[in-house]
Structure 1
Amino acid sequence: MKPIWKWALIVLAIILLVVGGVLWYYGRNWKPILETKLKEAIHNSSDGLYTLTYDELDLNIGLGNVTLRQAELIPDSAIYQQMIASKKAPDNRFHIKVKSLKVRRFSLWDVLRNRTLRIKSIVLEEPEVYLWSEKHAFNDTVSNDPKKTLYESIEDVFTSVNVRDVQLDSVKFTYSKIEKGKSSNIKLDKVNVKLEDILLDKDSQHDSSRLFYAKMIDVHIPGFAYDLPDDFYKLRFKDLKFNSKDRSLLLTKFAYEPKMSKSAFFKQKNRNITMTVLKIDSLSVENIDVRQLVEKQQTIGSIVRLKNGTVDLSNDTRYPKYPKNKIGHSPHQKLMKLNSIIRFDTVLVDNVTITYYEFSAKYGREGSISFNNAKGNLTNVTNDTLTLHKDKFMRADLSAKIMNSGNLHAKFSFDMLSKTGYHTYKGSVGAMNATAFNRILRPLLNVELKSGNMKRVTFDMEGTDHRNWGDFRFDYNNLKLSLLNEQEKGQAQTSKKIVSFLVNQIIINDSNPDANEIYHVGKINYRRDPQHTFFKTLWQSLLDGIKQTAGISPEREARLMGTAEKAKEAAKNSNSVLKKTGNFIKGIFKKKEKDEEEE
């Protein structure tokens, strides 16, 4: 071997010995230095609120690996109380446990030369995260004292920190909200979190493309279930997926429903209040403004999609109702009263069926009316006054099959800035057989439509908190009603037929245009009952149009009452005919298909 190669090998051996000696030295001596600096950085950055503990720290300088075993980040309750007293306490506190925390492939050379820390990956095994949220009024006020940023807390140690990947698998997460001394908890198991390209330096906090200093945060929560504090309802979903880079949120198999059966719900409530069951196969939000959501709790996005679901609303008239003043509580007015900003450009609805059920105390049966396969869109869905000053109307354009038969198309427009709740609604119902409505008429009114061809319904309406007005048109023919009241003792079967005959021949036109070729148009001017909800008022207004187009007037009702008296004299054992006729008239034109919802 030539001398030059001998010298080269000798030099290489010396270098390896030096590097090995350096690594050995720093491996032995940097461990206590690293431990001290790590604990010091956490203590200083949290103003003494948090302490880091662990059972073991393994440090391999050569490979750039650090492992913490049985590590905990523990909040100090005494320090937190002191921070509350000095009005410096954060609203949120954490307690974090991990079986092991593995830091892989960091460069000691960068730390020594530039005070920069670059890490390839961090993996947390079996992490447990406890979060306490306690709102403090002093955090809502603007402080003149500048808050120390996370970078300012570590700049004495590092000029920058960069982590390429962070992985948290099967996280156990517990969230406790403390309000007025009471705590409500949400627990999640098997949460998976992935973060990419975390950068902490003097400029990264101002980078709008980052969330919590990361270029991407991906969260997956499977199998969530939560009992709401009201003791009646629960929430659940199969999967929640959130990606900060895509700015997307996806919920699958979402449900909001009672924790008990329908009969148990009303028995426990002991009042006739609307029971709601909401189920959606897929709910997604696009282009979420994540920064606004995190920093200001504002929910802002471009498109919300609701696909394949059901909304069931139920009432039970066997229980008492406690009327309340509903003025100012319409859906769009409730949106304006929310404490936080909501803004969506468009909400798309696809294949959602809405059904209203009511159990009749009088007849002991349940009737229902459904709007099947509802689809359409809502636009400018917001309570942000700055946005509404540019366009003050929230709009809805929806279609459905009423009773899974006739095609319903309706357009709503809500003036969100109106002090009187101004809104408009117009639409149409296509051809259908009127007997489809027996599903609600027979159980609730004990009456049925024997026949009836609905050719077309159109309406064009305006409304406020106190009044609804507009035009209503209803084209139909061959309309026949049949009264189904059971015979009372001593009443002849003839009386029921007489009442049905009177209704069909005297009070209701069997067609529009009627037999005299007169076309009846409903000119609606309906004054709202303050105890009626928005939807009940809408229905009562359209019902007024139905009565007018069917040719019903007070004069015709008076004629019916007079003729019924003669029929009563002619029919033996029919003492209750007049009473039944009067009750039927009142019932059929006052009864709603969708009863009042408690708001």
Structure 2
Amino acid sequence: ILDTLNEFNVYNHIHDLVVEIKDYKQNLPDSLNTISFEKLNLSTKKGSIAINNISLTPRVAKYYYANIVGHQVGWHSLQNIDISIDQLDVFKMLSEKVLHVQKIKASNGVLDIFKDKELPIPVNQRRPMLQDMIRNIDLPLKIDSIEVENFRINFSSRLSSKMPEGALDFYELEAQMTNLVNIDSAISKNAKLNIKASAKIMNKGLLTTNFDFDMGDENNPFSFDAHLTTMSATEFNSVLEALAFVSIESGTVKELSMQATGDNYYATGNMKFLYNDLKVSTINKKNLKTKGMGKVMKTFFANAFVVKKNNPGFKFFPRDGAMYYERDPQKIIIDYVTKTALSGVVSSIGARNARKDIKRIQKESKKQKDAERKALKKAERRAVPIP
């Protein structure tokens, strides 16, 4: 049909194409999820699409979802979202297969994410960096901005069916992504993809973040900074007790700020973490969960009782925390950023001997990773045939 419309140049003779769809519901090809919305309105003259009350609903309960798939996978429930798309040239998208949108806005949604870690991760699973995900989209696109308003995201996970869930919730999420593009000519003019976001962790401390991603470099460099306002450290116990068997008995986060840079291989940075009266204990040292956390986290959790109670301490000069984490290509970038931040927390609160061990491991790991990258590039240059 589209080829016929192109052949007879029908698009140029349509003044305004108006479409309205109500009460749509469709099972997705995976047979595990259903997408639905209350109403969709499209106007080619206005270049707008409005979708009301859109939802993605799993057809399987979260505890059975991964078992049906056969490996570790996320269960997602997305409810009651309103989406608006502005300044979309529908006919250009259909005729030239290019998507150019001025703004996409999503508001008033609730996203529940559950991960059952009892099942294994597929051995050959590889998660692309954000830049690669965008580059690999088949449709050429340029989206000036994507905005998220008044969202709530609930993360939960469990290690096995015999253990409780751990949860971390984000309230009043606001976010903006600018310059989402995979067209080479546009990237050559502006290669920076920016994301700004803010949310209340457990509806308490305000977290603000800023990310910059370089779309023009195949090593996928990125940088981020974040700031967290005061809140009780015990608010993190749900996720720490369930997933790491570590409990915070007391403590107040006064302020936390961090800056880091990373790429396909590792991330480094610095953290300033100010806190009072911090007491940490292990629930069951035999069951201590450190798999996948890296050498730095293992060093800390092996000595979880030995932490500095306050920062700043008696000398009134705050300790800085060094951040270092090697990317696990089987995990998504959110895991990469989270583990990088956690390495800074561990470095900040550890007792002096533990901090020395952590910094030594960070330095040795970075040196080894740099040597591996240098050797790989050297081997690639040798492999290039000389004309």
Which residue matches 1:25?
A: none
Contact 1:363 1:443 in 2 (8 A): no
Contact 2:280 2:307 in 1 (8 A): no
Match of 2:211 among 412, 419, 433: 412
Which residue matches 2:175?
A: 376
What is the CA distance between 1:443 and its match in structure 2? 2.7
Which residue matches 1:285?
A: 85
Match of 2:332 among 527, 533, 549: 533
Q: Which of 1 and 2 has higher RCO (CA within 8 Å, sep 6+)?
A: 2
Q: Give the structure-2-normalised TM-score.
A: 0.81
- What is the correspondence of 1:55-134 to structure 2 with a 5 Å cutoff? none
Which residue matches 1:59?
A: none
Match of 1:512 among 311, 322, 327: 311
Seen in structure 2, the aligned counterparts of structure 1 residues 487 and 296 have a Cα distance that, compared at 3 Å, is closer
Seen in structure 2, the aligned counterparts of structure 1 residues 434 and 294 have a Cα distance that, compared at 3 Å, is same
Which residue matches 2:100?
A: 300
* Whole-angstrom CA distance in 2 between matches of 1:556 and 1:544: 11
* Whole-angstrom CA distance in 2 between matches of 1:283 and 1:310: 13
What is the CA distance between 1:231 and its match in structure 2? 1.8
- Name the amino acid aligned to 2:39: D
- Pick which of 377-386 and 451-460 moved more: 377-386
What is the CA distance between 1:442 and its match in structure 2? 2.7
Query: Structure 1: where are the runs of 5+ without partners?
Result: 1-89, 94-146, 151-204, 489-499, 559-599
Which residue matches 2:157?
A: 358
* Whole-angstrom CA distance in 2 between matches of 1:217 and 1:91: 15
Which residue matches 1:542?
A: 341
Contact 1:211 1:290 in 2 (8 A): no
What is the CA distance between 1:516 and its match in structure 2? 4.8
- What is the correspondence of 1:260-339 to structure 2 with a 5 Å cutoff? 260-324=60-124, 326=126, 329-339=128-138
- Name the amino acid aligned to 2:191: K
Seen in structure 2, the aligned counterparts of structure 1 residues 455 and 295 have a Cα distance that, compared at 3 Å, is same
- What is the correspondence of 1:29-40 to structure 2 with a 5 Å cutoff? none
* Whole-angstrom CA distance in 2 between matches of 1:322 and 1:487: 27
Which residue matches 2:361?
A: none
Which residue matches 1:399?
A: 198
Give the secondary structure class of the aligned counterpart of 2:15: strand
Match of 2:222 among 423, 427, 449: 423
Which residue matches 2:372?
A: none
* Whole-angstrom CA distance in 2 between matches of 1:411 and 1:214: 43
* Whole-angstrom CA distance in 2 between matches of 1:309 and 1:339: 28
Seen in structure 2, the aligned counterparts of structure 1 residues 374 and 245 have a Cα distance that, compared at 3 Å, is same
Which residue matches 1:438?
A: 237
Match of 1:228 among 28, 39, 43: 28
Which residue matches 1:477?
A: 276
What is the CA distance between 1:483 and its match in structure 2? 3.8
* Whole-angstrom CA distance in 2 between matches of 1:519 and 1:277: 42
Give the secondary structure class of the aligned counterpart of 1:537: helix
Q: Give the structure-1-normalised TM-score.
A: 0.54
Contact 2:204 2:231 in 1 (8 A): yes
What is the CA distance between 1:277 and its match in structure 2? 2.0
* Whole-angstrom CA distance in 2 between matches of 1:526 and 1:442: 22
Task: Give the number of aligned pairs.
Answer: 343
- What is the correspondence of 1:202-213 to structure 2 with a 5 Å cutoff? 205=9, 211=11, 213=13
Give the secondary structure class of the aligned counterpart of 1:456: strand
Match of 2:17 among 217, 222, 227: 217
Which residue matches 2:291?
A: none
Contact 1:271 1:319 in 2 (8 A): yes
What is the CA distance between 1:429 and its match in structure 2? 0.4
Query: Structure 2: where are the runs of 5+ without partners?
Result: 288-300, 358-387
* Whole-angstrom CA distance in 2 between matches of 1:461 and 1:473: 12
> Aligned-pair RMSD on alpha carbons?
2.7
Which residue matches 2:143?
A: 344
Deviations 1:364-386 (A, max 9, x none): 11111122111031111121222
What is the CA distance between 1:556 and its match in structure 2? 7.0
- Pick which of 275-284 and 479-488 moved more: 479-488
* Whole-angstrom CA distance in 1 between matches of 2:54 and 2:170: 20
* Whole-angstrom CA distance in 2 between matches of 1:556 and 1:296: 57
The alignment status of 1:259 with 2:59, answered yes or no, reads yes
* Whole-angstrom CA distance in 2 between matches of 1:244 and 1:456: 49
Contact 1:452 1:478 in 2 (8 A): yes
* Whole-angstrom CA distance in 1 between matches of 2:329 and 2:26: 36
The alignment status of 1:448 with 2:243, answered yes or no, reads no
Seen in structure 2, the aligned counterparts of structure 1 residues 553 and 465 have a Cα distance that, compared at 3 Å, is farther
Sequence identity percentage: 22
Which residue matches 2:49?
A: 249
Seen in structure 2, the aligned counterparts of structure 1 residues 424 and 324 have a Cα distance that, compared at 3 Å, is farther
What is the CA distance between 1:524 and its match in structure 2? 2.4
- Name the amino acid aligned to 2:84: S
- Name the amino acid aligned to 1:309: G
Deviations 1:442-490 (A, max 9, x none): 33334422211101111111110001112111000111124434999xx
